[in-house]
Structure 1
Amino acid sequence: MALTLISILVAAIPVAYCYPTAFQDLEETSANRTSIRFLALGDWGGLPYPPYITAVQKVTAKEMSNVAEQMGADFVLALGDNFYFKGVDSVDSPRFQDTFELVYTAKSLKVPWYVLAGNHDHAGNVRAQIEYSHKSDRWTFPSYYYELNFHIPNTGKTLTIIMLDTIMLCGNSNDFVDEKPRGPLCVVDANRQLMWLQERLARSKADFLLVAGHYPVWSVSEHGPTECLLQRLRPLLIKHNATAYLCGHDHNLQYIEESGVGYVVSGAGNFLDPDVRHWNHVPKGSVKFFTGQASTLGGFVHAEVTNNKMILTFFQAKGTSLYRTVLSRRVFE
C-alpha cells in the first residue's frame, strides 16, 4: 500500500527538477572538426575563509587552462563540492567570485561550466547555485538534475551526458560519523529522479552515453563504493550500455572498469588524498589507475569524443599526463 501511494505521488507531482531535452550548441564548429572535447573536475571548491582558494586549486586551474588551450575544451563538467565547506547561502555570495570567477580566468576556460551539486553544496543553498546561472556567462546549472545532448561535429554521431544529484538520490553524508549517505531527505524526490533517469536511459540512442554525479559508484579511497548507487544506478548503467560514469567525492584520480562501463573519479581539484582503504571493496582487477599523491599538486580529466571512440586522459597539475584509456562507441543490437 505504501509503495502504491508513493508511486501515485510521484506520478502526480510535476517533474520540476528536470530539464527539457535540447541539443547544445558548440561555440566553435569548423568544417574540418570531428570531435567534442571537455574537462571533468570535482571537489574544486576552495575554502570558506581568505584567500578562499587552496594551492592545489590554483595550480590545477593553471594546468587546466594549459590543457584546454593545447588540446581543446568545449566545456567543463563541474562534478560537485563547488564551495567548501557549506556551499553558498545566496546567489549574491562573494564565493562565486572568490572561488570560481577569479580563479578560472584563462580565456581557454571561458567556456560553459556544466555544474552539479555535491554533499558540501547541499549543506548550503543549492537553489542559489542554480540561480547563479542567470548571473554568469559560463556557469550553467539549470536544475538539480538535467540532460545535455551534443552533435559531434561533422560525424552524424551524438553525445549525451546525464547530470545527476546523487545527494538527492541517496542522502547527505556526515563527515564526522562514517561519511556514508544516510538515505534521501525526501523519498518522493529521490524516486522522481530515479524514474526520470530510467526513462532517459531507456530511450537514449546516443552514440556515447555518459552519466555524472558527485558520489562514486566504485572507489578504492576513503569513501569507497556508494551502496545506494550500487543498488540503484549501477544496474541501469549496465542495462543501458552506458559508456562511463564520472564523479568526484574522493579527492584523487581513479579509473575503474567493470561490466563494460568506465568509472572515472576526478576529485583532485582542491585537495589530495592517497587513501586506498577500500582497494579490496571493488571487483578484483577492475582498478586500472589511481593517484592521490601530494606530489601531483592536483588533477583533472580531459575527454575527447570522436565518431567512434572516447579518449580519457588523466592529468596531474604539475604538467604531465598520467594515464590514458579509450572507450568504444555504444553498439545497438
Structure 2
Amino acid sequence: MLAALATMLTGWLLVRYYQERHYRRRPYVAPARNDWARHAPALAAAPLHRIALLGDPGAVATDGSDAVLRLLADWQQETQAAGTIILLGDNVYPTGLPAPGQPGRAAAELRLNALLEALRPFKGNLILLSGNHDWNKGRPDGYEYLRRQEAYVAEHLPAAHYLPANGTPGPVAVQLAEGLLLLVLNTQWWVQQGDRPASDVKEPFRQLQQLLEANRHQRIVVAGHHPLYSNAVHGGKFTAKQHVFPLTTVHKQAYLPLPFIGSLLPLYRKLVGAAEDMAHPRYRKMRRRLLRVLHQYPNLVYAAGHDHNLQFFERQGSHFLVSGAGSKTAFVQKGGRATFVHEHKGFFSLDFYANGETWLRTFEPAPDGSRQPEVFRQRLHPGPVVAPPLVAAPVLQVPAAAE
C-alpha cells in the first residue's frame, strides 16, 4: 500500500515538474483574454491620473543598479505630477527596520534609503503601506518596528504619507483626482500578534462599507498588503521542487531532500497556514469579511502585494491585483481563477482617463532597467462615468494621528 502511494506521489510530482518547466516565468493569459494585444487606449490625451503599484520592494539593490527602480524612474518622468506611487508594504527585508545598533540595522537603512531616494524626485503623491515584514514578520514586538519605520520615512522623505498612520487598521480615504478615490487598509493589523493599536475588529469593515456606499459615483481603488486571491505560495500553491525540498520555501538555497515527508509542509500551509498565509485562521477571517463588503460594489480595484509576482483576477465584477514583484520573484501557478499571472519583476500601473476608462498596464524591466514589451493590458472601466459634481477636497484626506 505504501509503495503504491509513493509511486503515485512520485508520478504526480514528475508530471507537475514537467508542466512547470514549460510555463514558469512565462506570462499566462486566460484564453478569454488572449486577444489583449489587439486592444489599447484609443485616446490621444494623457491619462487624468496614473497609479504605480509597487509591492514588496524591500530587497532592492542599493548601488543604483536596481532595474525596477530605474523603470519606476521612467514611469515618474512620464507621469510628472499627475500620478500616485503606492508602495504596498514589505518595504524593508527581512524584518523591517531594527533599532539603532541592532544587527541588521545598517543593511536595512541602506535598502530603505535607496527606496526613498528613488521616490524623492516624484512630484505626485507618495503613499507607503506596511506589510508583515515591516512588522518584524508579524512577531509580538512588530509594532515597535512599524512605528520606527514610519518615523524614519517621515524624517527622511516628509512628502510621503505612511498610511494608515500609527499602525491603525484604517480605512483612510485619499482623493487622488476628481472622481478617483483611494481607500487604504492596514491588513497586517488583523493578523498581527502582540501589541497593536486598539480597535473593534469589525468597525473598519463598517467604515469601509460606509465609504464605498457614499462614493459609488467615483472610481475606487482599495489598497492593502495582503491579497484576496492568489495563485502563489500565500494562496497555497507550491512547486514540485518544494514538495521534495520543502525548506526552500523558507530559504531558496536550503536543498535538503525530504521526499514524501516534505509534502506535509505545503499541505499544512495550504490547509492550515502559517501566519502570513491565506489559509491561516486570522487571515481567512479578515479575507472573508473584506470580500463580503467589496463584493457589494462592482467595478472597484483591490491592489495588494505579499506574493512576489504579478497576478490579475476578475471576480464578481471587480478587479483584484497582486503586484508584489518590486524586488523579488517567486512561483505563481497559471490557470485557476486568474486572468493573468507572470513570475517576473515589475509592477502594475493603473491609467485613469477623463472619459471614465481605466486601463491596467504591466511594467516589467529588462536587466538594464529599460521597459520590456508589454505582456498584458486590459480596460477595467469602459466609461463614460456619469457622476454628480464633487465637492472640492484636498488631495489627501488623512485623519489626525492617534496618540
2:147 aligned with 1:127: yes
Q: Following TM superposition, by how much is the alpha carbon of 1:247 offset from its aligned partner in structure 2, in angstroms?
A: 0.2
TM-score (norm 2): 0.59
RMSD between aligned residues: 3.2
Question: Where does residue 76 of structure 2 map in the other structure?
Answer: 68
Corresponding residue to 2:93 among 84, 89, 110: 84
Note if contact 1:45-1:81 (Cα within 8 Å) is conserved in structure 2. yes
Question: Where does residue 209 of structure 2 map in the other structure?
Answer: 198
Question: Where does residue 315 of structure 1 map in the other structure?
Answer: 363
Deviations 1:164-201 (A, max 9, x none): 111112x04xxxxxxxxx89978845333223222222
What pairs up with 1:185-224 in 2 under 5 angstroms? 188-224=199-235
**Structure 1 runs not aligned, ≥5 long:** 1-31, 47-51, 153-157, 173-181
Corresponding residue to 2:173 among 134, 143, 147: 147
Distance 1:288 1:55 in 2: 36
Q: Which has the larger radius of gyration?
A: 2
Distance 1:120 1:108 in 2: 26
Distance 1:57 1:44 in 2: 14
What pairs up with 1:1-333 in 2 under 5 angstroms? 35-46=48-59, 53=61, 58-72=66-80, 74-89=83-98, 98-103=110-115, 104-105=117-118, 109=122, 111-123=124-136, 124=142, 125-135=145-155, 136-142=157-163, 143=165, 144=167, 145=170, 146-152=172-178, 158-169=179-190, 171-172=191-192, 188-224=199-235, 225=278, 227-276=284-333, 284=336, 286-292=337-343, 296=344, 298-307=345-354, 308-318=356-366, 319-320=371-372, 321-328=374-381
Name the structure where strand makes up a greater proportion of residues.
Answer: 1
Q: Following TM superposition, by how much is the alpha carbon of 1:101 offset from its aligned partner in structure 2, in angstroms?
A: 3.5
Q: Following TM superposition, by how much is the alpha carbon of 1:325 offset from its aligned partner in structure 2, in angstroms?
A: 1.1
TM-score (norm 1): 0.71
Q: Following TM superposition, by how much is the alpha carbon of 1:139 offset from its aligned partner in structure 2, in angstroms?
A: 2.3
Distance 1:75 1:196, change over 3 A: same
Q: Following TM superposition, by how much is the alpha carbon of 1:209 offset from its aligned partner in structure 2, in angstroms?
A: 0.7
Note if contact 1:252-1:266 (Cα within 8 Å) is conserved in structure 2. yes
Note if contact 2:46-2:353 (Cα within 8 Å) is conserved in structure 1. no
Deviations 1:199-245 (A, max 9, x none): 22222244211111111000001101553344111121121235110
Note if contact 1:252-1:267 (Cα within 8 Å) is conserved in structure 2. yes
The one-letter code sitting in structure 2 at the alignment partner of 1:114 is I
Note if contact 2:298-2:316 (Cα within 8 Å) is conserved in structure 1. no
Q: Following TM superposition, by how much is the alpha carbon of 1:289 offset from its aligned partner in structure 2, in angstroms?
A: 0.8
Greater mean alpha carbon deviation, residues 251-260 or residues 94-103: 94-103
Q: Following TM superposition, by how much is the alpha carbon of 1:322 offset from its aligned partner in structure 2, in angstroms?
A: 1.8
Distance 1:195 1:258, change over 3 A: same
Q: Following TM superposition, by how much is the alpha carbon of 1:97 offset from its aligned partner in structure 2, in angstroms?
A: 5.1
Note if contact 1:111-1:138 (Cα within 8 Å) is conserved in structure 2. no
Note if contact 1:132-1:139 (Cα within 8 Å) is conserved in structure 2. no
Give percent identity, aligned residues only. Answer: 24
Deviations 1:29-81 (A, max 9, x none): xxx866011211001112xxxxx747999111011112332355622111010
Note if contact 1:184-1:190 (Cα within 8 Å) is conserved in structure 2. no
Q: Following TM superposition, by how much is the alpha carbon of 1:301 offset from its aligned partner in structure 2, in angstroms?
A: 1.2
Distance 1:150 1:310, change over 3 A: same
Note if contact 1:250-1:267 (Cα within 8 Å) is conserved in structure 2. yes
**Structure 2 runs not aligned, ≥5 long:** 1-44, 137-141, 236-277, 388-403
Secondary structure at the aligned position of 2:330 is classed as coil
Name the structure where helix makes up a greater proportion of residues.
Answer: 2
Distance 1:45 1:119 in 2: 12
Q: Following TM superposition, by how much is the alpha carbon of 1:314 offset from its aligned partner in structure 2, in angstroms?
A: 1.1
Question: Where does residue 49 of structure 1 map in the other structure?
Answer: none
Q: Following TM superposition, by how much is the alpha carbon of 1:91 offset from its aligned partner in structure 2, in angstroms?
A: 9.5
Distance 1:187 1:261, change over 3 A: farther
Question: Aligned pairs, how many?
Answer: 271
